[in-house]
Structure 1
Amino acid sequence: MGFFVLSGGVFTMDPIALIPPTPDYADQIAAYRAAFLRRGETLAGCSPLPDLEDPMAWLAFVRRLSDPSTVPEGFVQSSQFLCVRETDGLLMGMLQVRHTLGNPFLERFGGHIGYSIHPEHRRKGYAKGMLALALPYCRSLGLKRVLITCAQENEGSRRTILADGGRYESTVTEPRKGQRMERYWIELDPED
């Protein structure tokens, strides 16, 4: 998939790549999950990782999501990516691209792309770079635009979405948690 380099200004980051998850990353996936759970934070862009303690079970689940013939009921075909630092393979974040908005939750609250950055690596530009890498992939799926949402209080995610071309559409309340979610669309130019 390549890498995106952002340097200068307030944020600097090492080159990153989006790669499919493999068993080689099982220990890092488990540590990533634990870092979020210790802080009581939501793991976005990783499907049921919060509920699956065994990284191998999670890997099996995301493989099912990638194949339209094995997608579980209530889910949509998705591509899961790990964001790794190219210099050392360190897991920096996770991102999931949903190929369609094929259920009411995604249409209203979840969107096409979900992502998260490891708590130790935030505010360094990795989310912006990760999202920028995902957009050409979305276009390769035939998507003309993508819906991305963020919690109203998540200023970092809002800035990431806006920096990558997001246009605000609306704010809605997610009924299960009562959380206010901002909805943004990113138009995918043919040459992105």
Structure 2
Amino acid sequence: MCLELILPSAEYRDSWEAAQFEFDVEGAFKLQEIGNEWIRESPAVLYASEEQCHFSSKWIPTKTYWLVREKRFLGQVDIRPQLTKELAAFGGQVGYVIRPSARLQGFGKKLLSLALDKAGELGLEKVLVTCDENNMASKKIIVTSGGRLYDKLYDAVREVTILRYWIIL
């Protein structure tokens, strides 16, 4: 029952789509804003090791990995080596999510730990990780992973306070 951090793979399509449905029901997150047509063909095309993600009208280099166990998609992490002004305020360099049915089982902590290892392999010495102030689970994961609170910013669009943490690798 080994956890693996892998590049997105069509092998996990059914599980990924089930996770997307869980997020849709929850109404809080969408794994891929462009829809899931890509997964039917080849997610590696979209999520190649040097691919980029769309972040608020700007394309930035991003590495995307999936946390999987026994053919089951558990979560996703995006590592963005470049820190734009917008990412510095609201997104951070590492963004992760665990599917709702896999929460409260330690997968978030493991996913962030593996992501920090990958960030180090990319040459980063520290990373900015953010979470909503009311997301107690993520706050705990970040602090347990070495996160030091830098500051808080208010996101007027979403009407939430964002906590910004630095983690030294």
Task: Identify whether the pair has TM-score above 0.5, normalized to the shorter chain.
Answer: yes
The CA distance in 1 between the partners of 2:20 and 2:38, in whole Å, is 9
Which residue of 1 is the match for residue 9 of structure 2?
22
Give, in whole Å, the separation in 2 of the partners of 1:55 and 1:109: 27
Q: Deviations over 1:21-50 (max 9, x none)?
A: 01212222221111101111224xx4xx14
Match of 1:181 in 2: 162
Corresponding position of 1:41:
28
Give yes or no for contact 1:83–1:130 (8 Å, CA) kept in 2: yes
Q: Please show how residues 27-106 of structure 1 align to structure 2 within 5 Å.
A: 27-43=14-30, 46=31, 49-56=32-39, 59=43, 60-63=45-48, 66-67=50-51, 74-85=58-69, 88-101=70-83, 103-106=84-87
1:152 aligns with 2:133: yes
Q: Which residue of 1 aligns with 2:104?
A: 123
Distance across 1 between alignment mates of 2:103 and 2:7 = 21
Matched, 1:171 2:152: yes
Residue pair 1:113, 1:146 contacting (<8 A) in 2 also = yes
Aligned-pair Cα RMSD in Å = 2.1
Question: What is the CA distance between 1:15 and its match in structure 2?
Answer: 3.4
Q: How many residues are treated as equivalent by the alignment?
A: 165
Corresponding position of 1:110: 91
The answer to whether 1:141 aligns with 2:122 is yes
- After superposing the two structures, state which structure 1 stretch, 23-32 or 165-174, moved more: 23-32
Task: Assess if the C-alpha contact under 8 Å between 1:26 and 1:55 holds in 2.
Answer: no
Return 5+ residue gaps in structure 2 as ranges.
Answer: none
CA contact (8 A) 2:63 2:78 kept: yes
> In the alignment, which residue of structure 2 is the partner of 1:161?
142
Q: Distance in 2 between matches of 1:149 and 1:170?
A: 10
Normalised by the length of structure 2, the TM-score is 0.88
Aligned-partner Cα distance in 2 for 1:32–1:138? 25
1:57-77 superposed Cα distances (whole Å, 9 cap, x missing partner) = 7934333x824xx76660211
CA drift at 1:104: 2.1
Identity of aligned residues (%): 28
C-alpha distance in structure 2 between counterparts of 1:15 and 1:119, whole Å: 20
TM-score (norm 1): 0.78
* Cα distance in 2 between the residues matched to 1:38 and 1:130: 23
> Larger % of strand: which?
2
